[in-house]
Amino acid sequence: MKLIALGDNCVDVYRNKGEVHPGGNAVNVAVHAARCGAESEYIGNLADDEYAAHLVKALEKNRVRYDRCPVIKDSKTKQCVYEVTDGERRFIEVVTGDAWAGPVTVSEDLMQVLSQADVIVSSCNAKIPEQLPAVEELPPVFVFDFGEKEKYRTPEYCDTVCRKIDLAMFSCSRMTDDEFAEFVRPFHEHGIIHVLATMGSAGQIISNGSMILRKQIQQVVPHDTMGAGDSFLAGFVCELQKSGWRKGKRMPSETLENALLAGQNISRMNVLSPGGFGD
């Protein structure tokens, strides 16, 4: 299975601990997919600073292809700054400056590369909403992480982004089944086939448009929760792909339950290490 993660990269700076870890949604997913056995590739703009060199080293170590990433001369890697205490993080700021490498441009050549994947994963943090409709028309399964911010859930944003999304993931607070059914309704109306919500300690819940399935988490004392959702998504997607997932295909409850368990297993292991994937 070939997975391409399209979008952002950054370094996660733990100011109170003096640690710097490579990350970003797309990078984290690409690394965890490779660890699940996928042929994994990351595509996004890379800076040419020491942080980008640190990130590239981590991609090489984890057997993630990155050679098709544009390298932006004299640019800087985005820094996401946190304080981390007892495995939980408090966001402080994003540092981009005037020389950030910026979002990738989806060229005709890149579209050709993307069309050869089995799965494309992107997110709101890729900052390329206007370019995604064309990507979604390609043959691979398309997965999109909407994150946790309300600005990425508005009708206007969905009108821009939503064309042929096979799986949308959201980070949410705890919801009842009825609340989740109401939450997913507009996204299914936009044509999204599967809608998945991760709810922290409340587990995960998913709708395939005809049924809702909930799974409680496996309790563990975390070392670091960074990348928990990204690692879960990678495990979930890789398991679905093994079960014959194809673009436009609605997956049955038993297959979805197995994928939820696979995602939990990957995420549980990940939170025992520092950073988005333990470098």
pLDDT digits (tens, 9 = 90+) for 68-123: 999 999 999 999 999 988 877 889 999 987 899 999 999 999 999 999 999 999 99
On whether residue 275 sits in a domain, the answer given is: no
On whether residue 279 sits in a domain, the answer given is: no
On whether residue 120 sits in a domain, the answer given is: yes
Question: What average pLDDT does this structure show over 232-259?
Answer: 97
Helices 228-242, 25-35: axis angle to 10 degrees equals 50
- CATH value at residue 211: 3.40.1190.20
Residue 219 has a pLDDT of 74
Looking at residue 94, its amino acid is V
pLDDT digits (tens, 9 = 90+) for 162-195: 999 999 999 999 999 999 999 999 999 999 999 9
Residue 247 has a pLDDT of 98
Residue 223 has a pLDDT of 83
- Bridge partners, 6 (sequence order): 43
Tokens 């932006």 — which residue? 72
Tokens 């040419």 — which residue? 48
124 Cβ contact list (under 8 Å, min separation 6):
144, 145, 146, 147, 149, 152
pLDDT exceeds cutoff 90 at 138: yes
On whether residue 24 sits in a domain, the answer given is: yes
On whether residue 276 sits in a domain, the answer given is: no
On whether residue 59 sits in a domain, the answer given is: yes
On whether residue 278 sits in a domain, the answer given is: no
The boundaries of the domain holding residue 158 are 2-270
Residue 81 has a pLDDT of 97
Q: How confident is the model at residue 222 (pLDDT cuts 50, 70, 90)?
A: confident
As for how many domains the chain has, the answer is 1
Looking at residue 3, its amino acid is L
- Give buried/exposed letters for 246-256 (b at 16+ CB in 10 A, else e): ebeeebeeebb
- Please give the Cα distance from 45 to 37 (Å, whole number): 25
Q: How confident is the model at residue 224 (pLDDT cuts 50, 70, 90)?
A: confident
On whether residue 185 sits in a domain, the answer given is: yes
Output phi, psi for 194, to 5 deg.
-115, 135
